[in-house]
Amino acid sequence: MPNKNVHVPVGMASGLAYSLYLTRDQQGNDRLLEVLGGVVGGYCGGRLPDVLEPANSSMHRAFAHSTTTGAALALSAHTAAQEWGIFFREKAIDLQRRRQTNRMSDVDLTVNIFLEVLLRVAAGIGPGLLAGYASHLALDACTPRSLPLA
């Protein structure tokens, strides 16, 4: 039965792979930061079902571990992940433009760059979270107990 030692690395790999796919049109540090966010999100998503429903027994699976939840993720995750990424990516681009067009003090410049980096990482966290969660459900579905319907 998969446990934290399996769900975490698979969730991180899923977040990495999905964010690499979503950032295929980006380059350099922008892509790197967003993929880093995908790995962080994958870590969290790989753990989330067991945080919501702790594995106190083999009967711990309910809604957070259900086929219904998995289907809902599969149907809406890609669009939601893209929208999440676009939202934070656009905020980072706004900061980048402001930095390039306005003269800033060293403090303002440092804060601006820091926020831009955080927004790039945040753009990858949502998609990574969804991919990690889906990987957790996929792993649990392959166990003898499988997943409940609802």
Per the structure, the count of domains in the chain is: 1
**pLDDT for 60:** 63
The answer to whether 121 touches 36, Cβ cutoff 8 Å, is yes
The answer to whether 135 touches 46, Cβ cutoff 8 Å, is yes
**pLDDT for 64:** 65
Does 103 reside within a domain?
no
Whole-prediction pTM value? 0.85
Does 100 reside within a domain?
no
Count of CB atoms situated within 10 Å of the CB of 114 = 11
Task: Domain of residue 50: give its range.
Answer: 4-82+124-141
Does 147 reside within a domain?
no
Task: Give me the tens of pLDDT residue by residue for the chain, a chain 150 residues long.
Answer: 567 788 899 999 999 999 999 999 999 999 999 999 999 999 999 998 888 777 766 666 666 677 777 787 777 777 888 888 899 999 999 999 998 998 989 999 999 999 999 999 999 999 999 899 889 888 888 877 767 666
Does 49 reside within a domain?
yes
The answer to whether 147 touches 137, Cβ cutoff 8 Å, is yes
Does 109 reside within a domain?
no
Residue whose tokens read 């930061």: 33
